[in-house]
Amino acid sequence: MMALQNRCRRKSRVRVMPGWQVEVLDAKTRKQLCFLDKVEPYSTIADIKSLVHKSYPQWYPARQALKLDPKAKALRDEEVLQSLPVGTTATMYFRDLGPQLGWTMVFLAEYMGPLFTYLMFYFRLPFIYPHRYAFTSSPLTVTTLACACHTGHYMKRLVETIFVHRFSHGTMPLRTIIRNCVYYWGFSAWLAYYINHPLYTPPYYGDIQINSACALFLLCEVGNFSIHLTLNSLKGEGTKVRNFPTPTRNPFTWLFFFVSCPNYTYEVGAWLGFSIMTQCLPVALYTLLSFIQMSVWARGKHRAYTREFKAYPGLRMAIVPLVL
């Protein structure tokens, strides 16, 4: 009986930690949007967004950005409240990110446009070229080959989006999607206009240039697809363990020995082959812009790998072996 009384006394002395308080302010006006009481200290930012969503149904979690300072970076959904540099009463600043779309829909929108846009010029629909060329086809073999390569490229991207890529629950703002679609669709139309133009002339070195460049394009497309399959299998289902990508028995993955993002290397290589095959200046410009953008992405990914993994190979560069 005495032992039982002692245990009861010890239990009565245990202090129950009250819930935390979170004040959510508008990042622009500093006006209070809501005051969340009795929030569990181990709640994540995603949990807090769900609570805000209950008060403001129009702001679903993917549309919200919560910050500890109006000018700071947005907090990640997986961050835990008690691990943040705040007291039991936290102040967070809210910003509306605008309408969002999931990544699958983002890529479908970006890739389906170029696919159909290019075909409009290849089949020379009316009001694109002079009327006498409407619904005609170019007599040049290179234009047909270019159409097959361009169509195959974006068909591959659509297949990868649906069956290969794994997307988190992340989203992209609608305004960014519109900007990206303008970029992809616009460049596709620009390239197609010149390649399928009635005055287009074939490459200077003829079949040698066309066939060799086409072979480069096809090899890089296969390499790009191989890398995407490898990245897809890198993280198994139901596990949160992260590993950096390494070469497999597939020879196309051996580029991992030298670069962190060989998928970008192969992508640039494919467009370089397409530029040489068509000998078209707009294609070359598009290849250059793509290389610049993918270099930025690759360097960011490379830095993330080197920070996260201590045993990350030092020989690897970001996108160009031994150079960049």
Average pLDDT over every residue of 26-43: 88
Helix (H) or strand (E) holding 89: strand 89-96
Q: Residue 125: which domain range? A: 106-308
What's the Rg (C-alpha) of the chain?
27
The reply to whether 26 falls in a domain is: no
The reply to whether 253 falls in a domain is: yes
Taking alpha carbons only, the member of 128, 80, 104, 96 closest to residue 24 is 96
Return d(Cα 24, Cα 18) in angstroms, integer.
19
CA angle, residues 290, 296, 298, in degrees to nearest 5? 95
Taking alpha carbons only, the member of 298, 295, 287, 229 closest to residue 261 is 298
For residue 18, the model assigns a pLDDT of 59
Q: Are residues 88 and 220 in the same domain?
A: no
Q: Are residues 94 and 148 in the same domain?
A: no
Q: Are residues 268 and 191 in the same domain?
A: yes
Query: According to the per-residue pLDDT averaged within each range, which of 76-85, 214-223, 234-243 is highest?
Result: 214-223
Return d(Cα 75, Cα 68) in angstroms, integer.
8
At residue 17, does pLDDT exceed 60? no
At residue 152, does pLDDT exceed 90? yes
Q: Are residues 238 and 160 in the same domain?
A: yes
Q: Are residues 195 and 88 in the same domain?
A: no
Q: Are residues 144 and 283 in the same domain?
A: yes
The reply to whether 74 falls in a domain is: no
Number of structural domains, the chain? 2
The reply to whether 3 falls in a domain is: no
Q: Are residues 236 and 94 in the same domain?
A: no
124: Cα within 13 Å, side-chain hemisphere: 18
For residues 68 and 93, the answer to whether their CB atoms sit within 8 Å is yes
Return d(Cα 244, Cα 90) in angstroms, integer.
36
Return d(Cα 213, Cα 308) in angstroms, integer.
38
For residues 32 and 13, the answer to whether their CB atoms sit within 8 Å is no
Q: How confident is the model at residue 252 (pLDDT cuts 50, 70, 90)?
A: very high
Which residues partner with 95 through β-bridges? Answer: 65
- CB atoms under 10 Å from CB of 91, counted, come to 15
CA distances from 275 to 154, 187, 198, 298, 302 (A): 16, 13, 19, 22, 27
Return d(Cα 25, Cα 233) in angstroms, integer.
42
The reply to whether 213 falls in a domain is: yes
The reply to whether 315 falls in a domain is: no
CA angle, residues 11, 16, 19, in degrees to nearest 5? 165
Between 145 and 175, where is the model more confident?
Answer: 145
Q: How confident is the model at residue 139 (pLDDT cuts 50, 70, 90)?
A: very high
At residue 4, does pLDDT exceed 60? no
CA angle, residues 27, 33, 35, in degrees to nearest 5? 115
Q: Are residues 176 and 238 in the same domain?
A: yes
For residue 241, the model assigns a pLDDT of 59
Q: For the chain, how many residues are written?
A: 324
Q: Are residues 129 and 206 in the same domain?
A: yes
The reply to whether 187 falls in a domain is: yes
For residue 1, the model assigns a pLDDT of 40
Return d(Cα 94, Cα 67) in angstroms, integer.
7
Q: What is the pLDDT of residues 94-120, one digit of tens each?
A: 988 887 777 777 788 888 999 999 999
Q: Are residues 55 and 187 in the same domain?
A: no
Q: Are residues 167 and 290 in the same domain?
A: yes
Q: Are residues 94 and 127 in the same domain?
A: no
Alpha helices for 239-280 (secondary structure H): 262-278
The reply to whether 289 falls in a domain is: yes
At residue 14, does pLDDT exceed 70? no
At residue 88, does pLDDT exceed 80? yes
* Average pLDDT for the chain: 87
